[in-house]
A and B are shown apart, each in its own frame.
Chain A
């Protein structure tokens, strides 16, 4: 098995674990971390599969850079929401029933 495929397989596992973590109810911070695990998994599959042949493909590398920045943005927004929810006076209705 090539290194690229190994990356892709690990990425598949990370994605699955992360997605389950986002889907399950729980503390917002835990779900935000899970989202990051999920995103990293998907990006690892993207670069891993493209490098199965051994060479480096710059196109998915650039896509992954874009994907990381998008994940940073989403994480920041999620943290801002979670933080405001956790702020005093906002706690009353923050029960996670989804």
Chain B
């Protein structure tokens, strides 16, 4: 078999272009086949990385510093696999969703293709300037998806998101410029030894600029202001893609840089992401508890769950389990949040009401969807045996070993708040329904893809050993 790596980048770009060529609203089947093939490619690549260790690939055959390199280790392959695996059911869901949504789906398929292609390119790139270009593909495609076919409120949310993402990538670009000026290269491989010694002050400025830019794109508190309106206002499959995957892309880049070339420079700053993450968990959960609208509740929950990703940063240098906790949280949140948005979409479609109060009676009308919502909630709360439980358990374990008890407190408090907002919806769902005039049927495909994602997020806790083995090369890098 040929090398799967270049195809993971080329294939989504190709089917995205062809979907546009076919015309507005077309390309759903093509996209599903494309992503299914990408799933197989990602698994093949994972097997290769597991067998032979991290791979390096010189695009154009030049090699760094003249050319652009790809670098694929366990972490990168995990993100590649996660993205294709979450995207596949969401695209099937979207096919059903946009079947009756008209204008909003006209350019969904090509934009989704470029979004996935941009993320795949981001996961494998080992060149800072190339990473900037991939960030822009992902950012602009995400904004286009949020805005598609929307009314004034949705367009305003998209514009606000666009300014946030442009400010973030602008800061990243200036950081790249400073690093090129100071070191004469943008290859991550070559920058490693250059930044390990005595770095000029401009490099420190660059590290701060790039980190803040990525905080902004990941919507870490207090840079989360753009997320709730954008994720709460977009079409449901878009919200799911954005909340589950897109913010993880910029987070992955931040994690990669902090673990690798920035590691010697950011050591004294490692507590900062944890403090901001704690604030994100408490503030985001509290807003989710108070939210009137169902999609806003799920979007605020994303703000909170992002916080967990950053809690482990002060522990990364000393505790091996901390990285496992970050990875488990990334994967379990991606699956659970995709499931929760998908289930929410079914509820809104059937009840025609997007408020939390409107959920009443859903327990009788949509038992399958409510079950999916509850399973996803189990992961977000961190109850055993879910993937979220495993992530939080590892995090608490690492924090206790380090004596960082405030982190333990935040994790426990965040879990309680998550239980509060999840049970708010569940309790409402079991109330008796007001009599309905028209019975809208729930599309089967939408219900089952939500359930599949939710079940996967719980099963992750049971089958965690396999995943830990997949990311084993991470610790070695």
Contact = CB atoms under 8 A, between A and B. Distances in A.
Interface of A: 8, 11, 15, 18-19, 22-23, 28, 31, 35, 38-39, 41-43, 45-46, 48-50, 52, 60, 63, 66-67, 70, 73-74, 77-78, 81-82, 84-85, 89-96, 98
A46 to B, nearest CB: 4
Contacts of B170: 15, 18-19, 22, 35, 38-39, 42
A28 B225 CA distance: 17
A85 B155 contact: yes
A98 B177 contact: no
Contacts of A96: 156
8 contacts: A15-B170, A22-B163, A22-B166, A48-B181, A73-B136, A74-B162, A94-B156, A98-B225
Contacts of B159: 28, 78, 81-82, 85
B173 A42 contact: yes
Contacts of B88: none
Contact of B177 (A43, A77, A90): A43
Contacts, number: 104
Interface in B97-142: 129, 132-133, 136, 140
B180 A60 contact: yes
B221 to A, nearest CB: 15
Indicate the size class of the contact surface on chain B.
20 to 34
Contacts of A38: 167, 170
Given A63-B180, A70-B136, A81-B158, 5 more contacts: A19-B167, A28-B159, A50-B181, A52-B181, A78-B162
Given A35-B163, A50-B180, A85 B152 contact: yes
Top-8 shortest CB links A-B:
A49-B181, A46-B177, A93-B152, A90-B152, A42-B174, A45-B177, A42-B173, A93-B153
Nearest to B173: A42
B167 to A, nearest CB: 5
A78 B182 CA distance: 33
Nearest to A91: B152
A60 to B, nearest CB: 6
Given A35-B163, A70-B133, A77-B162, A41 B156 contact: no
B contacts with A: majority SS: helix
Given A43-B177, A60-B180, A90-B155, A77 B140 contact: yes
Given A85-B155, A90-B151, A46 B180 contact: yes
A46 B140 CA distance: 23
Given A39-B170, A66-B133, A85-B152, A31 B140 contact: no
Interface string B187-209: 00000000000000000000000
B336 to A, nearest CB: 28
A39 B173 CA distance: 8
Interface in B432-468: none
B156 A93 contact: yes
Q: Which of A11, A42, A50 has the most CB of B within 10 A?
A: A42
A52 B156 CA distance: 43
Nearest to A64: B177
A63 B130 CA distance: 9
Contacts of A90: 151-152, 155
B152 to A, nearest CB: 4
A85 to B, nearest CB: 5
B349 interface: no
Nearest to A28: B159
B407 interface: no
Contact of B173 (A22, A52, A67, A84): A67
A23 B213 CA distance: 13
Interface in B218-261: 225-226
Interface string B146-178: 010001110110111011001100110110111
B222 to A, nearest CB: 12
Contacts of B147: 81, 84
Contact of A85 (B133, B156, B181): B156
Contacts of B162: 74, 77-78, 81
Contacts of A89: 152
Nearest to A75: B166
Nearest to B226: A98
Contacts of B80: none
Q: Which of A35, A39, A98 has the most CB of B within 10 A?
A: A98
Contact of A84 (B132, B155, B171): B155
B246 to A, nearest CB: 16
A92 B182 CA distance: 49
